Amino acid sequence: MILTVTLNTALDITYRVKALRPHASHRVTDVTERPGGKGLNVARVLAALGHEVTVTGFAGGATGRTLQDQLLGATGISDALVPVSGSTRRTVAVVDSSTGDTTQLNEPGPLVSAEEWTAFQEAYEHLLDSASAVALCGSLPPGVPVGAYATLVRAARTASVPVLLDTSGEPLRRGIAARPDIVKPNADELAELTGSHEPLQAMKDARRRGAHAVVASLGAKGLRALTPDGTWQAPAPDRLEGNPTGAGDSAVAGLLSGYVEHLPWPQRLARAVALSAATVVAPVAGEFDAATYERLVREVRVTDQISAA
């Protein structure tokens, strides 16, 4: 199975309102909620692609119970979340029906104790025994050491399990030094990590810092990959309109599924770009449109050089 780690899981709530006006009272016309956090999104896409996936991370309190109840209904996903005494955070996305714009409110997440972090590491190392690959995704909840991802990358390497890291800021800086197989930063994360706003230079720097392969998601410019086997770019399809929420997570699922299926890099990148685009155009945030994916994965033209930005 593929293991995805989401230390800061969330119950993602979406509210639709007629028009959002600060300091007014609003009747919510539509409510949806689903398990969230980047690693859970990756898991959902991997499961849709036919992979067996196990999710771990933390879950606690009433929102944690709700999240786990909803995971029970998800085909192909095994729940190996570790209990925490605090409450799993909620995120609230308020969609303004008049403009289509979204206002996001993110709770900080539960405070994780040293004992809970230790319990998680033990569970994680046990899960690695049966994992073909692992994705470490998203932010760290309060209480988890900033070097957490470095620790988890090292454990995966010790267990000879390929590891993909998708995070930002100091957790990325620390984690990359532990030599993950793949990192997938976006342009902002790359610039924050390296100080360079020139993607190719920044990607080279990221490899020097420890990543074996760097796949940068550059929004409308698509994906660029700097790997031990070569360099590639996979342009994003033209004229994409929709909601980019979860597009990066779908790209991670594409890369990781291609990795465990031993696809060559160009096919992994084509899959990642097609899944990402199919997520943008899907009517529900974070889902992907299967027909769009099937069409695009054949159309994407991956080239084996990276032009200057």
The residues assigned a catalytic role are: 249
DSSP string, 234-293: EPPPSS--S--TTHHHHHHHHHHHHHHTT--HHHHHHHHHHHHHHHHSSSSTT---HHHH
DSSP state of 303: B
Q: Which of 1, 12, 15, 140 binds a copy of itself (CB under 8 A)?
A: 15
The answer to the question of residue 187 lying near a copy of itself (CB under 8 A) is no
The answer to the question of residue 62 lying near a copy of itself (CB under 8 A) is yes
Q: Which stretch binds a copy of itself (CB under 8 A): 97-105, 121-129, 184-192, 254-262?
A: 97-105
Give the pair of three-digit tokens for residue 274.
């097609």
Contact criterion met (CB below 8 Å) for 56 and 127:
yes
Complex with a copy of itself: residue 4 or 87, whichever CB lies closer: 87
The answer to the question of residue 31 lying near a copy of itself (CB under 8 A) is yes
Q: Which of 80, 94, 111, 306 binds a copy of itself (CB under 8 A)?
A: 94
Q: Which stretch binds a copy of itself (CB under 8 A): 44-52, 104-112, 250-258, 290-298?
A: 104-112
- Name the minimum Å distance from CB 219 to a copy of itself: 16
CA distance 237 to 257: 21
Which residue, among 39, 34, 40, has the nearest Cα to 14 in the 3D structure?
Answer: 34
Q: Which stretch binds a copy of itself (CB under 8 A): 28-36, 119-127, 155-163, 197-205?
A: 28-36
Q: Residues with Cβ < 8 Å from 17, sequence gap 6 or more?
A: 26, 27, 28, 29, 94, 95, 96, 97
| SS3 (DSSP) at 189 | helix
The answer to the question of residue 177 lying near a copy of itself (CB under 8 A) is no
The answer to the question of residue 192 lying near a copy of itself (CB under 8 A) is no
* Count of residues that interact with a copy of itself, criterion CB under 8 A: 30
Give the pair of three-digit tokens for residue 205.
């720097």
Label the pairing between strands 223-227 and 213-217: antiparallel
The answer to the question of residue 198 lying near a copy of itself (CB under 8 A) is no
Q: Which whole-number Å values give the CA distances from 245 to 82, 129, 281, in the listed order?
A: 26, 32, 10
Contact criterion met (CB below 8 Å) for 64 and 84:
yes
The answer to the question of residue 146 lying near a copy of itself (CB under 8 A) is no
Complex with a copy of itself: residue 13 or 236, whichever CB lies closer: 13
The answer to the question of residue 102 lying near a copy of itself (CB under 8 A) is yes
- Name the minimum Å distance from CB 66 to a copy of itself: 4
Q: Which stretch binds a copy of itself (CB under 8 A): 106-114, 159-167, 186-194, 215-223?
A: 106-114
- Helix (H) or strand (E) holding 44, with range, is helix 38-48
- Name the minimum Å distance from CB 105 to a copy of itself: 5
Start-to-end CA span in the chain (Å) = 37
Q: Which residues bind a copy of itself (CB under 8 A)?
A: 15, 17, 20-29, 31, 62-63, 65-66, 69, 92, 94, 96, 99, 101-108
